[in-house]
Amino acid sequence: MLKLITECHNLDNLPVRDLIDSSGSVSPETPISVLAERFFTEPELDALPLVRDGFPYGLAVRNKILTTLGTRFGFALYARKPISAIADMNPLLVHHDESLNGVLAQAMARDFRDIYDEILVVDEADKYVGLLSVKRLVIEQGNHLAQSIAQRRMALERAAEMQKMNDAKSSFMAHITHELRSPLHAIVGVIELVKMNFSQQKLDEFPKYINLLSTSSANLLAIINNILDLSKIEVGRMDVYSEDFVLGDLLQEVLETCQVLLGDKPLTIELDCAQPQILLSGDRGKVRQILLNLASNAVKYTDRGNITIAAEGGSQLKLSVKDTGIGIRTEDLANLFVAFNQLEDAKTRRYNGSGLGLTITAQLVQLLGGNISVDSTFGIGSRFDVQLPCRQPSQPEENFP
Amino acid sequence: MTQPKTVLVIDDDERHLLTARGLIEALGFRVETHNSPFRSTEKILDLKPDLVLLDVNMPALAGDRLCELLRSEPVLENTQIYLYSSNDEDILRQSVRRYQADGYICKGDIRGMRLKLQSLLGGST
């Protein structure tokens, strides 16, 4: 049987030998009536080669033989004669090493009545090895073309995707390199000043230096933690714990951290929680991180006005952080939670940080089985909403994932 | 006695202005600082420093682009402009070429900075 060629080669290099059908042949002396009988009884038989002593002599094509016999007096005239009398005694012969494309080109160059006639294939010694069906060659060529087009398109798409990812990663690397080094360089510089001044017993600047060392190290630590958190989430190593906690205490903690971050900005932060004493059960650490990330972003991106941190406990824990900050452009909203996707060009950014905060926040929300959404108007402010599945310790566990 | 050479440091990060001032003053040079790319041209024209240390990552206008703008000022032809950054050195090297800076100094490399400034502006006075 014919075997289907599935591997993709260049069609100009693909030899026809794999497509050959060498199932049968007849001698040129065979009476036409015998052959006609075979064509009648074997409807699948399209053509038979005429072969003597292993060498090809001609080709008997089903349609042509039966048409000749079907004409007036055809059978009477030809039935007893050998098949060589009416067969094609000058059929197309090709070598078994010739390529599919080359053979098809020769086949198609024939007279239009012969175009679909089978092709005889010979080996190095010009001995007959089998027949090629033009229909099959055409189908095979079509398959290969379709396959190579699809492969080419896939390869192009993959390359474009890789390029995009590479670009994002290298710009992220450039950015993170700067963000990691900048606070460290400040630390290195201040330590050098401390050493220089200490050797001269000039201690009056020391409180300022120590303050700088402390804020710069905290800054660096936060960035390193963000990177480590994200890689932990990305390899699926982040575990979820459950513990009981009082909602109001958690809010207070977040508020206090934000007050420190606030510095001397003319900005007020309000808590909005109807039941601060409600006891909840969940991963307190991650809930705190989610809320703190959103709230500290609000502080970072708001120069004046107010920030409202709202929380409502129940079967769902609803958190929201609303600010009167710079807001986010509509076209940037879609990429807000995507890692390695800085909204601002790193070189001209107004705000420091790893740029991973919102990505981590969204990943944590997902890890806890909740969802996060954002509503923002550029220049007016933003509002982030988070819903997390939650339960109160006294209630059954059905609402907890 | 000759006038000490003047170095102007332009950086939006006050921490880096503070450390640069302390480290460079200790070399015996006069240090002026400016914390934004805005009005920096005026500051430079006004001060005519011998050397400018220019931070790269700054809001609104990156230092390397600012360098290119400063280079188009004929008056500043003899002012040396060095990029002063925590960025990757390969990127800094490219920026130096592209924006016609005189060179770069890596922020964390204190020893390198001292050697560079001394060789550019002469030993400490």
Cβ-Cβ contacts under 8 Å, A196 against chain B: 22, 26
Q: What is the pLDDT of residues B35-44, one digit of tens each?
A: 988 888 889 9
Average the pLDDT over A63-83 and give the result.
84
Contacts of A64 (CB under 8 A, 6+ apart): A86, A88
Q: What is the pLDDT of residues A294-333, one digit of tens each?
A: 999 999 889 889 999 999 988 889 999 999 998 888 877 8
Question: Interhelix angle for A62-70 vs A32-41, to 10°?
Answer: 110
Q: What is the pLDDT of residues A152-179, one digit of tens each?
A: 899 999 999 888 888 877 777 888 888 8
Can you tell me the distance from the alpha carbon of A199 to that of A211, in angstroms, rounded to the nearest whole number? 20
Encode A173-213 in three state secondary structure: HHHHHHHHHHHHHHHHHHHHHHHHHHHCCCCCCHHHHHHHH
Average the pLDDT over A350-357 and give the result.
67
| Neighbour tally for A39: CB within 10 Å | 19
Cβ separation B110–A184 shorter than 8 A: no
Inform me whether the pLDDT recorded for B7 exceeds 90: yes
Average the pLDDT over A85-90 and give the result.
90
Phi, psi of B117 (to 5 degrees): -65, -40
CB-CB: which of A186, A345, A350 is closest to B16?
A: A186
Q: What is the DSSP track for A205-235? A: THHHHHHHHHHHHHHHHHHHHHHHHHHHHHT
> A residues 44-103 near B, CB within 8 Å?
none
Chain B residue closest in CA terms to A180: B86
Q: What distance in Å separates residue A273's CA from the closest CA in chain B?
A: 37
- The CATH code for residues A167-234 is 1.10.287.130
Average the pLDDT over A338-346 and give the result.
57
Can you tell me the distance from the alpha carbon of B83 to that of B64, in angstroms, rounded to the nearest whole number? 7
Inform me whether the pLDDT recorded for A215 exceeds 90: no
Inform me whether the pLDDT recorded for B23 exceeds 90: yes
* Strand runs labelled E in A2-69: 47-52, 55-61
Query: What's the gap between Cα A125 and its chain centre?
Result: 52
Q: What is chain A's mean pLDDT, rounded? A: 86
Using CA atoms, how far residue A196 sits from A120, A193, A199, A203, in Å, is: 95, 5, 5, 10
DSSP H helices, A348-391, are: 357-367
Determine contact, residues A86/A65, Cβ cutoff 8 Å: yes
Identify the pLDDT of residue B18: 95
Q: Does residue A195 sit at the B interface (CB-CB below 8 Å)?
A: no
Q: Work out the pLDDT band at A2, boundaries 50, 70, 90.
A: very low
Q: In which element (H, E) is residue A306 found?
A: strand A305-312
Q: Which of A72, A66, A5 is nearest to A40 (CA)?
A: A66
- The CATH code for residues A16-132 is 3.10.580.10
Can you tell me the distance from the alpha carbon of A176 to that of B38, in angstroms, rounded to the nearest whole number? 25
Average the pLDDT over A23-39 and give the result.
89
Can you tell me the distance from the alpha carbon of A151 to that of A147, in angstroms, rounded to the nearest whole number? 6
Q: Work out the pLDDT band at B125, boundaries 50, 70, 90.
A: very low
> What's the ipTM?
0.85
Cβ separation B19–A189 shorter than 8 A: yes
Q: Which of A74, A188, A107 is nearest to B108 (CA)?
A: A188
How many alpha carbons lie under 13 Å from residue A211 in its C-beta half-sphere?
7
Inform me whether the pLDDT recorded for A26 exceeds 70: yes
Inform me whether the pLDDT recorded for B21 exceeds 90: yes
Inform me whether the pLDDT recorded for A353 exceeds 70: no
Q: In which element (H, E) is residue A37 found?
A: helix A32-41
Beta bridge partners of A376: A382
Can you tell me the distance from the alpha carbon of A49 to that of A56, in angstroms, rounded to the nearest whole number? 7
Is residue A394 classed as helix, strand or coil in its secondary structure?
Answer: coil
CB-CB: which of A184, A189, A347 is closest to B62?
A: A347
Average the pLDDT over A77-105 and give the result.
89
Q: How many residue pairs bridge chain A and chain B with CB atoms within 8 Å of each other? A: 79
Cβ separation A177–B88 shorter than 8 A: yes
Identify the pLDDT of residue B8: 96
Q: Work out the pLDDT band at A4, boundaries 50, 70, 90.
A: very low
Average the pLDDT over B57-78 and give the result.
85
Inform me whether the pLDDT recorded for A388 exceeds 80: yes
Q: Work out the pLDDT band at A8, boundaries 50, 70, 90.
A: very low
Identify the pLDDT of residue A7: 46
Task: For chain B, give every domain's residue range.
Answer: 6-121
Which fold would CATH assign to domain B6-121?
A: Rossmann fold (3.40.50)
Q: In which element (H, E) is residue A321 found?
A: strand A316-322
Using CA atoms, how far residue A168 sits from A238, A342, B60, B85, B104, in Å, is: 25, 9, 21, 22, 26
Which fold would CATH assign to domain A243-399?
A: Heat Shock Protein 90 (3.30.565)
Inform me whether the pLDDT recorded for A6 exceeds 50: no
